[in-house]
Structure 1
Amino acid sequence: MHRSLTLISTTCLLALATAVPAQADALLHYIDDEGLESQILVRDHMIRMELNEAISGTSGYMLFDARNDQLTVVDDEEQTYLPLTREVMDEQIQAMTDMVSDLRRQMEQLPPDVRDQLKQQLRIGPEGFEAEISTRETDEQREIGEFVCSEIEVLIDDRPQSTVCVADAQSLGLETSDFQTLGALMDRLYELSLRALEAGGPMASQMGASLLPRVEGIPLEVREHDGVTTRLAGLSTDPLSEALFQVPESYEETEMF
């Protein structure tokens, strides 16, 4: 699910303190330099993120409700849905932290070469994460399509990790309320990413590798240093059906494990 979460993370926005319209719809269409596409739909307090099956292994979408910070993964192929409440996610990350700690203790009894091989196979990284994460404006502006954006670097311990080119929401003709909702999503994903890095287990490679704090504006492009570049390929403010943000009644609830 790593790349799906990367695309989700690139849509972080600044929440502005203004009146919220009754309904403000938006559709953002992204594509990366490997040709993989992703769509993010916003309607009022809800967000729908299309999942690319080749990346996530799931043919469906993820819903986010900004009223309660709940994520729900919907699998169209299996016709199931998985509610990821704050409590469930916190429990799963804590379980992962405990499991990785136990594995580390057991592997300390093994020869160094075997221990290193197992860490690589199990994707167990260093324990703990105390790096400082920050952003820095570069004063560089670029044209992407018909829009102009300003570049912001994301740094970990003062080392650039990625460069985000952001545009003002109004210049794209989009509503403020959409970005209040997206900002709530980004805060939650950022929090989960930090906790995954602290655990140092497989979730760290999925959620922490593309750490992106909230930036001031709408990302038109995200360039991961020595990685993938993702660009906004299109946007729409046409009204979206409420059904797009609901789980079909015939789908059955499932559990994470």
Structure 2
Amino acid sequence: MHARRTGPLARIRQTLASMAACGLLTIGTGAQADALLHYVDDEGLESQILVRGDIVRMELNESISGTSGYMLFDATNDQLTVVDDTEQTYTPLTREVMDQQMRDMTDMVSDLRRQMEQLPPEVRQQLEEQLGIGAEGFDAEIDTRATGKQREIDDFVCDDHEVLIDGNVQSTVCVAQPDSLGLRDDDFTTLGGLMDRLYELSLSALQAGGPMASQMGASLLPRVDGIPLEVSEQDGVTTRLSGISTDELSPELFTVPDSYAERDLF
């Protein structure tokens, strides 16, 4: 029996939580080099981000559904491509496609809410939960705040920062400077483009509400100045950097196999 297929947006949302640390890197300018960052959370879930030239690869392995794959980001055109190794398919997520899907979803949720206004409260609540449209959109105020505290993690010193949404602490990030880890800021110029796009999508999801907010908005994270050694979600999972490599990476890791078939977003 095959595991239930998971849509590309749900897979992005699931991987954002474990890859949150990588999304907070400082970005510099200059020559590019290969890089690999390996993170592990306190539930044993491992995650990797690989960078080569203008392309970033994010692992999208899912322990629950049993599927595996990865996301590619091309910094030259802001295109995301979700690759499903289990189904041997790929889904291109251009900026235009994603923005249009976001608008269509927002319009659909608004229409559904208007149609359900005349229903009894308990029936309306049940339908909202079944359809995944309960979350209301809002203009979130996102801030970061240095706590002034330093910690030592695996022989490296890092500074604690808090990530706040509307004044409430969402997570704490302990960041170290790239040179202290033997890395250069310019290795992450391409990665910065990906994280900017994912942050933008998550912010739009929060503002839109509905299923997009539940899939992506909860992973909203801005940049923090430094390379995270540890990310602790408020009353949630803690993720730590477990390895860094600047060895040359195979170009094949940053492509879609020719035998894979294209799949629509929904």
**Would you call these one fold, judging by a TM-score over 0.5?**
yes
Letter in 1 for 2:46: E
Q: Is the 8 A contact 1:4 1:55 kept in 2?
A: no
Distance 1:134 1:34 in 2: 28
**1:1-257 equivalence runs, <5 A:** 1=11, 2-12=13-23, 13-16=25-28, 18-21=29-32, 24-54=33-63, 58-257=67-266
Structure 1 residue runs of 4 or more that deviate by more than 3 Å after TM superposition: 55-58
Letter in 1 for 2:238: T
Q: Is the 8 A contact 1:7 1:38 kept in 2?
A: yes
Distance 2:76 2:251 in 1: 16
**Cα shift at 1:8:** 3.0
RMSD of aligned C-alpha atoms?
1.6
Unmatched segments (≥5 aa) in structure 1: none
* Secondary structure of residue in 1 paired with 2:190: helix
**Cα shift at 1:57:** 6.3
* Secondary structure of residue in 2 paired with 1:11: helix
Give CA-to-partner distance per residue, 1:56-100, whole Å, 9 cap, x none.
764111101111111101111211111111011111111111111
Deviates more, 1:247-256 or 1:3-12: 3-12
Distance 2:215 2:42 in 1: 20
Distance 1:159 1:188 in 2: 23
Identity of aligned residues (%): 71
Letter in 2 for 1:26: A
* Secondary structure of residue in 2 paired with 1:62: strand
Give CA-to-partner distance per residue, 1:210-232, whole Å, 9 cap, x none.
21001111111111101111111
**Cα shift at 1:128:** 2.6
Distance 1:56 1:200 in 2: 26
Letter in 1 for 2:26: L
TM-score (norm: length of structure 2)? 0.90
Distance 1:57 1:111 in 2: 39
Q: Is the 8 A contact 1:61 1:74 kept in 2?
A: yes
Distance 2:73 2:227 in 1: 18
Distance 1:187 1:61 in 2: 18
With over 3 angstroms needed to count, the CA separation of the structure-2 counterparts of 1:121 and 1:163, relative to structure 1, is: same
TM-score (norm: length of structure 1)? 0.93
